[in-house]
Amino acid sequence: MKTTNRKILVVDDEADMRIFVSTVVETRGFEPVIAENGDQALKMAQLDPPALVILDVMMPKIDDGIRTYQHFRTNETLKQIPIIMLSAVARKTFFHTIRMLKPGQDRILAEPEAYMEKPPDAEELIRLIDGILAGEK
């Protein structure tokens, strides 16, 4: 899915992580759009869909990042937006959790385009963003 949209939605409850990821995104020529929680992210994405979402798993509300991911993947308007999950939660734990979330009719929730454990490496994050937006998942 190649895109000319330059907006990337960065969703994290930690200010230092929002600043770091936003800086990486901006230095790569994208426009970071910031959300501090899942509710805010979903509202922002509905109003102006970004090219990509970078979403933290663990945020203040219980399962906020996981539930936010589920909403993105099951919403007709938002489900095509690529998502990079970024978290201190182990990759294996996250994928086990989303396999347990059935969006209905025994379907399994689609996996994110990428998953990075914190702390993220700036160069790896840039490679992921570039690859996903160039359609190279």
pLDDT tens, position by position, 10-29: 999 999 999 999 999 999 99
Q: Which pLDDT belongs to residue 88?
A: 83
Q: Which pLDDT belongs to residue 120?
A: 93
For the chain, which residues make up each domain, given as ranges?
Answer: 7-133
Sign of CA dihedral 36, 58, 133, 78: negative
Q: Considering the chain, what is the average pLDDT of its residues?
A: 88
Residues 11 and 54: beta-carbon distance below 8 Å: yes
- CATH domain 7-133 topology: Rossmann fold (3.40.50)
Q: Which pLDDT belongs to residue 2?
A: 47
Q: Which pLDDT belongs to residue 4?
A: 64
Report the SS3 class of residue 107: strand
Low-confidence ranges of the chain (pLDDT < 50): 1-2
Report the SS3 class of residue 103: coil
Q: Which pLDDT belongs to residue 1?
A: 42
Q: Which pLDDT belongs to residue 135?
A: 83
Q: Which pLDDT belongs to residue 99?
A: 74
